[in-house]
């Protein structure tokens, strides 16, 4: 398995198109918090996980996306830019990017997390993608991070955002009313991760239909993701 992961890391580096001067940064970006479970932080003996890098990568990604959209859509207003930005930085987009890069196979996980399918979990992959982007930024600066972003997000940038992506909660509300149902409801069913980078799981319910749940970095993001999940499941989008 170790050799398989080493090959996956090498392939990830090739797809990123960035030659790390400090490979420890990449290794940290690929290390999930489960690897250090049970180790007291003050001992400094546990492996350094990717949570801090994820925090930084989220901001680096937001800046790169905002700059790209500001350049590409000079006539768009703030609301339109915000909708497009959300579609490019949300957990689903990052997970798709990570899948194309092969991040899952390159992750460093605890045996338990690995056995539970961690390499296929969108949340873990999305978080690692942000951490990897932060590692590139720290290793090579903003230009290096921009180069990786342009390559890795090329397919996402080429997507045509539709109304459901921009405002899925409104679309779900209209669909529910069209079915003669009350307005959708949302509730938080789980929260995980650190205080500075939490992950929310929200469940949305429309009377007469099975609930749908999804994750997000904020309650709002998770509600949008859950609405999108229900719309897709019911064949609305």
Q: Which residues contact 154 (CB under 8 A, 6 or more apart)?
A: none
The answer to whether 58 is a known catalytic residue is yes
Q: Rounded to the nearest 5 degrees, what angle is found at the Cα of 119, between the Cα atoms of 155 and 136?
A: 55
Residue 155 annotated as catalytic: no
How does pLDDT run across 117-157, given as a tens digit for each residue? 889 988 899 999 999 999 999 999 999 999 999 999 999 99
Identify which of 14, 30, 17, 24 has the alpha carbon closest to the alpha carbon of residue 130. 30
Looking at residue 42, what is its pLDDT? 45
Catalytic residue among 113, 130, 221, 223: 130
pLDDT digits (tens, 9 = 90+) for 177-224: 988 999 999 999 999 877 777 889 999 999 999 999 998 888 988 898
**C-alpha span between 27 and 227 (Å, rounded):** 35
Place of tokens 């409104």: 170
What domains appear along the chain, each with residue ranges and CATH number? 2-161 (1.10.1520.10), 166-233 (3.30.160.20)
- What angle is formed at CA 35 by the lines to CA 31 and CA 39, rounded to 5 degrees? 125
**Does the pTM exceed 0.85?**
no
Mean pLDDT value across residues 96-113: 94
Angle subtended at Cα 140 by Cα 8 and Cα 21, rounded to the nearest 5 degrees: 55
Active-site option among 49, 58, 113, 215: 58
């Amino acid at each position: 398995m170790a050799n398989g992961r080493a090959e996956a890391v090498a392939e990830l580096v090739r797809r990123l198109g960035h030659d790390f001067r400090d490979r420890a940064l990449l290794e940290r970006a690929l290390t999930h918090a489960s690897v250090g479970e049970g180790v007291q932080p003050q001992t400094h003996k546990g492996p350094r996980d990717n949570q801090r890098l994820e925090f930084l990568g989220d901001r680096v990604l937001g800046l790169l996306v905002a700059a790209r959209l500001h350049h590409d859509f000079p006539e768009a207003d703030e609301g339109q830019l915000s909708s497009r930005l959300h579609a490019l930085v949300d957990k689903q987009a990052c997970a798709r990017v990570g899948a194309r890069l092969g991040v899952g196979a390159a992750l460093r996980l605890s045996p338990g997390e690995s056995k539970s399918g961690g390499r296929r979990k969108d949340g873990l992959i999305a978080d690692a993608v942000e951490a990897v982007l932060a590692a590139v930024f720290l290793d090579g600066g903003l230009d290096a991070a921009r180069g990786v972003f342009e390559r890795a997000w090329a397919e996402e940038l080429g997507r045509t955002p539709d109304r459901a992506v921009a405002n899925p909660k409104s679309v779900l509300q209209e669909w529910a009313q069209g079915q003669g149902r009350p307005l959708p409801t949302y509730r938080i069913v789980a929260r995980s991760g650190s205080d500075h980078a939490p992950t929310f799981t929200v469940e949305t319910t429309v009377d007469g239909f099975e609930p749908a749940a999804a994750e997000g970095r904020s309650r709002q993001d998770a509600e949008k993701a859950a609405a999108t999940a229900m719309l897709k499941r019911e064949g609305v989008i």
